[in-house]
Structure 1
Amino acid sequence: MLSFFSGRHRQRDDLFDRSFRSCTDCGADVYVLAEDCKDCGTALELRAG
């Protein structure tokens, strides 16, 4: 409620959006724990953080 009065808007932190990343080769959205891209088959590295 305080952000409403101060004029600041909190950015939405959506778990669904954070569950995907882009393939380094084709740019397709891939689940963060996937080992391979579903579109092009590129092997993906798991990233921490």
Structure 2
Amino acid sequence: MRCIAIALQRVMANGAGYFHNILLRRVTYFYLKGLIAQRLSGLEYY
């Protein structure tokens, strides 16, 4: 029973790390996209 709990905990930790990684990548991607869009629109205005 204890082994199962430990294994489950490990899987949960791995899953959380995996999802966190994806989230971080998405956020960075959108942030960079926003920056580039801002730069481009700034160039258009000037």
Structure with a larger share of its residues in strand: 1
TM-score, with structure 2 as normaliser: 0.26
TM-score, with structure 1 as normaliser: 0.26
Answer with 1 or 2: which has the greater Rg.
Answer: 2
Structure with a larger share of its residues in helix: 2
